[in-house]
Amino acid sequence: MHAPLKPALASRLKDVEVAASVKMTARARALAEKGIKVISLAVGEPDFDTPRHAIEAAHQAALAGDTKYPPQDGTKALKQAIQRKFKRDNGLDYAPDEIMVANGGKQIIFDALMATVDPGDEVIIPAPYWISYADMAKLAGGKPVFVNCPQNNGFKLRPEDLDAAITSRTKWLILNFPNNPTGAACSRAEMAAIGKVMLKHPHVWVLSDDMYEHMVYDGFEFCTIAAVEPGLRERALTVNGASKTYAMTGWRVGFAGGPRDLIKAMVNVQGQATSGISTVGQAAAAAALDGPQDLVAERAAIYKQRRDLVVEMISQAPGMSCHKPEGAFYVYPNIAGCLGKTTAGGRKLETDFDFSMALIDEQHVGVVHGAAYGMSPYIRISYATDTESLREACSRIQTFCRGLK
């Protein structure tokens, strides 16, 4: 007898996997449920609390009855707060119909790709890269094109490499500086050089994911491409959100400013997916954007201390070297000196994936392997956790590396 036919899943999912950071977080949680003290440095989520005034604004909005369907592109109050934020922080002027709100920055990017990418269109993604960029491009029918940003260039995009990667099928360039997973950030001169290349290719949109803009250290000044090169304004999408800056990951509030025709198309996509986002979440985000900003700098100072601690301790681990990044809350150590060796538990390390799996199993520290971000042999460490846990985790990593033979 023939097996009965079953409904099939869409072929568009065949090359889309669950994010490696999600898998590692799940593995760490499973070990913790067995009573094992696991320190997970795999997730990019601030350990700080949402500002009290933002929580209070959400509470008051709910009490006032602001609990009905929201506008698909965002409430008037939040869009006005976003206008002020773009002007204050980035020197960008966007009209209300050039701004939209979504369920996190992730949905903004998804909306943009779904609204513009046709089958076979190419999306240029500097590598290492946040995992979801490539998968979202594939879901939209596009083809990710990766451009290596080597460590000897500070993990930054070289203009000549970008220029060589652009073809007649290129639809987007995605920029993410400060970067996930490396923490690399571009100076104004470096961003201007990228802008100069993009002026030569008027058929290409530019997306700047600025989620980590306020997490820069040692006097580094953040810049975004639409402000650095005004000639790109009519094809640049500036993406941001409340998640990282204000420790509001669970509130799911992302936003963007860009050309009104693009924004209109993105709102149309969103209208068929999720419509508008939580009204109380939008009230909280507006309060965060318009409220006191002291805590942003205070938390950045703490992140800097953590970065310095992690870079110092990881650099002392045999076989590892750690570049000191300009921003975000990640470091991306090279583990080439650990490969080809055997762990104290008897496991042979051939790849950075092997390293990350042996580390979680033998020393109970969760990190993400570099291959997931498009560059090996590295691991990503998130230092968005308390300092004592970071110190203990780095000590365990040192022990793990000292045990290699």
CA distances from 327 to 28, 55, 91, 282, 357 (A): 26, 27, 20, 27, 27
Residue 2 forms part of a structural domain: no
Rounded Cα distance between 314 and 395, Å, is 8
Q: Are residues 335 and 255 in the same domain?
A: no
- Quick check: 31 pLDDT over 90? no
Domain stop point among 262, 290, 318: 290
Coil, helix or strand for 373?
A: helix
In the predicted model, what is the mean pLDDT of residues 31-36? 87
Residue 312 forms part of a structural domain: yes
Residue 4 forms part of a structural domain: no
Q: Are residues 93 and 232 in the same domain?
A: yes
For residue 305, what pLDDT is reported? 98
The number of folded domains in the chain is 2
For residue 2, what pLDDT is reported? 67
For residue 20, what pLDDT is reported? 76
Rounded Cα distance between 41 and 356, Å, is 11
What residues make up the domain containing 42? 11-49+295-402
Residue 305 forms part of a structural domain: yes
Assign residue 43 the CATH number of its domain: 3.90.1150.10
For residue 147, what pLDDT is reported? 98
User: pLDDT tens digits for 228-267?
Assistant: 999 999 999 999 999 999 999 999 999 999 999 999 999 9
Rounded Cα distance between 219 and 211, Å, is 18
Residue identified by tokens 């008027």 is 202
Residue 335 forms part of a structural domain: yes
Q: Are residues 188 and 307 in the same domain?
A: no
Task: Please give the DSSP secondary-structure letter assigned to residue 92.
Answer: -
Domain stop point among 290, 319, 351: 290
- Quick check: 312 pLDDT over 70? yes
Q: Are residues 327 and 257 in the same domain?
A: no
Residue 6 forms part of a structural domain: no
The answer to whether the beta carbons of residues 365 and 283 sit under 8 Å apart is no
Q: Are strands 170-175 and 205-209 parallel, antiparallel or unpaired?
A: parallel
Q: Are residues 155 and 231 in the same domain?
A: yes
Q: Are residues 105 and 212 in the same domain?
A: yes
Q: Are residues 284 and 145 in the same domain?
A: yes
Rounded Cα distance between 223 and 91, Å, is 10
Residue 182 forms part of a structural domain: yes
Q: What angle do CA 312, 368, 326 make, to 5 degrees?
A: 45
Other beta carbons less than 10 A from residue 219's beta carbon: 6
User: pLDDT tens digits for 44-65?
Assistant: 899 999 999 999 999 999 999 9
Q: Are residues 28 and 90 in the same domain?
A: no
As a whole number of Å, the end-to-end CA separation of the chain is 55
Q: Are residues 63 and 39 in the same domain?
A: no
Rounded Cα distance between 148 and 133, Å, is 15
For residue 11, what pLDDT is reported? 87
Residue 239 forms part of a structural domain: yes
Domain stop point among 267, 290, 313: 290
Q: Are residues 24 and 140 in the same domain?
A: no
Assign residue 199 the CATH number of its domain: 3.40.640.10
Contact residues for 212 (Cβ-Cβ < 8 A; gap 6+): 178, 179, 180, 244, 327, 328, 329
- Quick check: 186 pLDDT over 80? yes
For residue 304, what pLDDT is reported? 98
Q: Which of 49, 27, 121 is nearest to 364 (CA)?
A: 27
User: pLDDT tens digits for 98-118?
Assistant: 999 999 999 999 999 999 999
pTM of this prediction?
0.95
Other beta carbons less than 10 A from residue 97's beta carbon: 13
Q: Are residues 21 and 83 in the same domain?
A: no
The answer to whether the beta carbons of residues 381 and 314 sit under 8 Å apart is yes
User: pLDDT tens digits for 132-167?
Assistant: 999 999 999 999 999 999 999 999 999 999 999 999
Q: Are residues 308 and 374 in the same domain?
A: yes
Rounded Cα distance between 37 and 57, Å, is 37
